[in-house]
């Protein structure tokens, strides 16, 4: 008789973690990397398991789960699929709460006996009263509990939950968005969704008090009706951003080989998501940008009118094109507004028509004055400042990258935002070389620390803001 299922809430603060790995001694193994990562994160009770070793990375290594003296709530498994059923018996005997399988080669392999093996695993989990995450995933990242599966990710908790059918995305999202200020409550990579699935995760995060924004990368949905019910409830409580993988024939084929997902009709999925007031994105870049907008754009713009301010005629012309193509609107400026701008912007080499481009738009005074004039225009709902980083931006001893420029510019933009009540957004373009990247990363760090949303191009800014404004107005 199966025991009552543990709720997800019980999985996120394990007292002890065992890492069971066939190749724990191999420096390239996932299991070893998990042990290293947990150590680096300061997780207090890590138990490597492999009968070949008595010590590993300075920790005692145990021959079996039962040999571990302390409490084990969570088990990370990377052993061949053939050995998993015996291990699950050990898990039941040790009274663990959850098991993550990095191990792959199950239903996604297309081999019939492996799908049967998955069903046997699920029976053992039900009988043993524990939950399975995966198989074919990287499992849990819970900053508050110092529960990690990789290194290099910021460990401060934050308000974003990420549900990911891909282990790569689950590890990459916090890694890539750290420098842009995004922090996470929990990240769950759930792979083949044998037990814990997208619907249960969505239900959990829609009520999780530590989560304010929900992001999801989903290849396939196991039970469409249940999922839509959960999505409806989640979207009524919090912003939900969904990235659907497997939308073309090649993507579907890969999704089936990746997580055994039978991807549903894209058109139907998109239509339902729209009805339910979720934000859909087309790729990881957009997912990141929309999360940055939701997290840091303050206030959220009340309309799609934008003003673009910065240095560079070509970029400004293209910005005009890209903004409108992405669904934002760049209102033209009245002669009165243009006259106001001409009081402090030089006529030569300048564009006053929105985008506003002038050679002195790197001086905090000019930036501030321009933003204040534009912020008064009723159909301008957001103010975008753009800046490029490359050797040429170092004219005059790198003025655009120096602390002398950055802090006054940040203050000017913060004051303009406060004075006008219009959100200020930053489009900082990364550099092609290492010196330029140093400047870019320093500037990004300063703007992010000051609480601004930072995007990496005007096109990306426009795409993200158009989606967020449409969602906010729906």
Sign of CA dihedral 167, 170, 171, 173: positive
Helix (H) or strand (E) holding 387: strand 382-388
Q: Which stretch binds a second copy (CB under 8 A): 227-235, 256-264, 270-278, 368-376?
A: 256-264
Binders in 183-202 for a second copy, by CB under 8 A = none
Helix (H) or strand (E) holding 132: strand 131-133
Cis peptide bond upstream of 383, omega within 30: no
Q: Is 156 in the site for a second copy (CB under 8 A)?
A: no
Q: Is 175 in the site for a second copy (CB under 8 A)?
A: yes
Q: Is 116 in the site for a second copy (CB under 8 A)?
A: no
Q: Is 365 in the site for a second copy (CB under 8 A)?
A: no
Q: Is 348 in the site for a second copy (CB under 8 A)?
A: yes
CA distances from 67 to 31, 62, 86, 93 (A): 18, 6, 15, 11
For 120, other C-beta atoms within 10 Å of its C-beta total: 12
According to CB under 8 A, which one of 376, 433, 451, 474 is a site residue for a second copy? 433
Q: Is 370 in the site for a second copy (CB under 8 A)?
A: no
- Annotate 425-443 with DSSP letters as a single string: EEEEEPPSSHHHHHHHHHH
Sign of CA dihedral 211, 217, 223, 225: positive
Q: Is 350 in the site for a second copy (CB under 8 A)?
A: yes
Q: Which stretch binds a second copy (CB under 8 A): 11-19, 199-207, 248-256, 417-425?
A: 248-256
Q: Is 390 in the site for a second copy (CB under 8 A)?
A: yes
CB of 253 to a second copy, least distance (A): 4
Q: Is 379 in the site for a second copy (CB under 8 A)?
A: no
Q: Is 402 in the site for a second copy (CB under 8 A)?
A: no
Q: Is 441 in the site for a second copy (CB under 8 A)?
A: yes
Q: Is 8 in the site for a second copy (CB under 8 A)?
A: no
Q: Is 320 in the site for a second copy (CB under 8 A)?
A: yes
Burial track 194-230 (b if 16+ CB lie within 10 A, e otherwise): bbbbbbbbbbbbbebebbbbbbbbbbbbeeeebbbeb
CB 148 within 8 A of CB 171: no
Three-state DSSP state, 359: coil
Q: Is 381 in the site for a second copy (CB under 8 A)?
A: no
Three-state DSSP state, 308: strand
Enter the tokens of residue 286.
């957009």
Phi-psi region of 125 (alpha: psi -120 to 50; beta: other; left: phi over 0): alpha
Q: Which stretch binds a second copy (CB under 8 A): 69-77, 121-129, 221-229, 250-258?
A: 250-258
Q: Which stretch binds a second copy (CB under 8 A): 123-131, 376-384, 429-437, 463-471?
A: 429-437
According to CB under 8 A, which one of 17, 81, 413, 450 is a site residue for a second copy? 81
Q: Is 284 in the site for a second copy (CB under 8 A)?
A: yes
By C-alpha distance, which of 233, 232, 236, 239 is closest to 159?
Answer: 239
Q: Is 396 in the site for a second copy (CB under 8 A)?
A: yes
Cβ closest to a second copy, residue 196 vs residue 448 = 448
Binding mask 37-76 for a second copy (x = CB under 8 A): ----------------------------------------
Cβ closest to a second copy, residue 60 vs residue 154 = 154
Burial track 274-292 (b if 16+ CB lie within 10 A, e otherwise): eebebbbbeebbbbbbbbb
Q: Is 258 in the site for a second copy (CB under 8 A)?
A: yes
Q: Is 423 in the site for a second copy (CB under 8 A)?
A: no
Q: Which stretch binds a second copy (CB under 8 A): 63-71, 195-203, 225-233, 345-353?
A: 345-353
Residues facing 280 on adjacent strands: 242
**Phi, psi torsion values for 383, nearest 5 degrees:** -120, 120
CB of 369 to a second copy, least distance (A): 19
DSSP letter for 97, please: S
The answer for residues whose C-beta is within 8 angstroms of residue 279's C-beta and 6 or more apart is 239, 240, 241, 242, 290, 467, 468, 471
Q: Which stretch binds a second copy (CB under 8 A): 161-169, 271-279, 375-383, 447-455?
A: 161-169
DSSP letter for 348, please: T
Helix (H) or strand (E) holding 139: strand 139-141
CB of 26 to a second copy, least distance (A): 9
Q: Which stretch binds a second copy (CB under 8 A): 115-123, 140-148, 269-277, 353-361?
A: 353-361
How many chain residues bind a second copy (CB under 8 A)? Answer: 90
Q: Which stretch binds a second copy (CB under 8 A): 52-60, 67-75, 378-386, 391-399?
A: 391-399
Binders in 446-465 for a second copy, by CB under 8 A = 459
């Amino acid at each position: 008789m199966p025991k009552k299922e543990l709720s997800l809430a019980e999985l996120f603060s394990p007292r002890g973690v065992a890492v069971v790995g066939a190749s724990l001694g191999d420096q390239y193994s996932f299991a070893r990397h998990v042990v290293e990562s947990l150590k680096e994160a300061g997780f207090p009770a890590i138990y490597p398991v492999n009968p070949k070793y008595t010590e590993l990375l300075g920790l005692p290594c145990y021959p079996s789960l039962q040999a571990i003296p302390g409490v084990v709530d969570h088990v990370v498994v990377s052993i061949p699929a053939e050995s998993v059923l015996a291990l699950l018996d050990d898990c039941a005997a040790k009274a663990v709460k959850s098991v993550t399988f990095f191990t792959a080669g199950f239903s996604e392999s297309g081999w019939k006996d492996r799908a049967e093996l998955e069903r046997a695993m699920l029976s053992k989990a039900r009988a043993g009263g524990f939950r399975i995450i995966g198989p074919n995933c990287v499992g849990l990242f819970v900053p508050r509990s110092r529960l990690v599966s990789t290194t290099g990710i910021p460990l401060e908790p934050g308000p974003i939950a990420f549900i990911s059918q891909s282990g790569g995305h689950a590890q990459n999202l916090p890694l890539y968005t750290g420098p842009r200020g995004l922090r996470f409550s929990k990240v769950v990579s759930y792979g083949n969704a044998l037990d814990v699935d997208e619907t249960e995760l969505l239900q959990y995060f829609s009520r999780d008090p530590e989560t304010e924004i929900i992001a999801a990368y989903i290849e396939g949905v196991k039970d469409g009706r249940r999922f839509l019910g959960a999505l409806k409830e989640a979207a009524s409580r919090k912003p939900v951003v969904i990235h659907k993988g497997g939308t073309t024939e090649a993507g579907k084929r890969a999704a089936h080989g990746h997580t055994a997902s039978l991807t549903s009709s894209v058109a139907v999925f998109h239509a339902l998501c729209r009805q339910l007031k979720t934000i859909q994105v087309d790729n990881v870049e957009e997912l990141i940008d929309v999360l940055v907008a939701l997290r840091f754009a303050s206030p959220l713009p009340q309309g799609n009118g934008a003003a673009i301010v910065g240095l560079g005629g070509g970029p400004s012309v293209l910005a005009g094109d890209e903004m409108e193509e992405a669904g934002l609107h760049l209102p033209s400026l009245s002669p009165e507004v243009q006259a106001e701008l001409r009081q402090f912007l030089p006529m030569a080499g300048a564009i006053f028509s929105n985008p506003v481009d002038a050679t002195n738009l790197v001086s905090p005074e000019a930036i501030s004055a321009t933003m204040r004039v534009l912020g008064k225009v009723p159909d301008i709902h957001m103010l975008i400042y753009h800046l490029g980083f490359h050797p040429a931006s170092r004219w005059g001893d790198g003025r655009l990258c120096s602390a002398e420029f950055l802090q006054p510019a940040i203050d000017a933009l913060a004051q303009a935002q406060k004075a006008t009540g219009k959100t200020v957004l930053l489009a900082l373009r990364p550099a092609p070389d290492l010196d330029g990247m140093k400047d870019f990363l320093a500037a990004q760090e300063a703007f992010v620390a000051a609480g601004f949303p930072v995007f990496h191009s005007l096109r990306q800014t426009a795409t993200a803001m158009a989606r967020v404004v449409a969602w906010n107005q729906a």
